[in-house]
Amino acid sequence: MKKMLNLIVLAAFALAIPAFAQPAASKATTAAKTAATDKATKATKAPAPAPPTDSEIADAKAKGLVWVNTETKVYHKDGAYYGKTKKGKFMTAADADKAGYRAAKESPIGKKKTTAPAAKK
């Protein structure tokens, strides 16, 4: 009777082991599917557009266009960031305002302070 009981316990245990091991296998399968999906998504993404050339920047300035930084939602009329941010595009200032972009603030660096002349006594 004791042998029979041991066999039943062993049989039940043997059947239960694959059930415990299965979630780990399905996790590995899910991870593999996710990795494959990520790889496919990266492959189908459009490459980043090339930054504008110096001649394109000069042409846009001549036309009076502003450079819109699409990440920060700020546009530049000229200066160090004009045509130089990683993500951006040229457009008119009116179109940039309509699209919800704001003009860049002027930097206080490099500005000369103007002080009123001292009153003579």
Closest to 48 measured CA to CA, from 94, 1, 85: 85
Residues in Cβ contact with 102 at an 8 Å cutoff, skipping those fewer than 6 apart: 73, 74, 75
pTM of the model: 0.53
CB 66 within 8 A of CB 76: yes
**H or E segment at 60?**
helix 54-63
**pLDDT tens track of the chain, all 121 residues?**
777 667 676 666 666 655 555 555 555 566 666 666 666 555 566 677 788 999 999 999 999 999 999 999 999 998 889 999 999 999 999 999 999 999 998 877 766 666 656 666 5
- Rounded Cα distance between 120 and 99, Å, is 53
